[in-house]
């Protein structure tokens, strides 16, 4: 629950099915993935988001400062959440 892993993603363009596979492997299973895409909210390919939903993981895409706030809020509610954050 309180683990920090290095995610090999430098920009939102690096987010792929393979890079998201890390979040599908986490135990305990997460219910929400908050993605911070840098200074701006960037659109991700719908197929990647669909794949995560099919695995039972909702994905929230935001700019990184807001993603941090969302992650902290969900954590305070004891939700099973993970964050993938790209520095702004």
Looking at residue 4, what is its pLDDT? 86
Judged by DSSP in three states, 75 sits in helix
Q: What is the pLDDT of residues 56-87, one digit of tens each?
A: 999 999 999 999 999 999 999 999 999 999 99
- Mean pLDDT for the stretch of residues 30-47: 96
Cα-based distances in Å from 21 to 7, 48, 72? 11, 10, 22
Q: Give the pairing type, strands 58-62 and 81-86.
A: unpaired
pTM summary value: 0.93
Residue 10 DSSP SS3:
coil
Domain boundaries in the chain?
30-85
In eight-state DSSP terms, residue 16 is -
Residue listed under structure tokens 């492997």: 25
Cα–Cα distance, 26 to 74 (Å, whole number) = 17
Tell me if the domain spanning 30-85 has CATH number 3.40.1230.10.
yes
């Amino acid at each position: 629950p309180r683990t920090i892993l290095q995610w090999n993603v430098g920009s939102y363009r690096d987010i792929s099915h393979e890079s998201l596979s890390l979040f599908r492997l986490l135990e305990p299973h997460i219910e929400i993935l908050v993605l911070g895409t840098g200074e701006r909210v960037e659109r991700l390919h719908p197929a990647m988001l669909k794949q995560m939903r099919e695995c039972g993981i909702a994905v929230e895409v935001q700019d990184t400062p807001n993603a941090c706030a969302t992650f902290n809020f969900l954590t305070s509610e004891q939700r099973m959440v993970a964050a993938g954050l790209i520095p702004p």
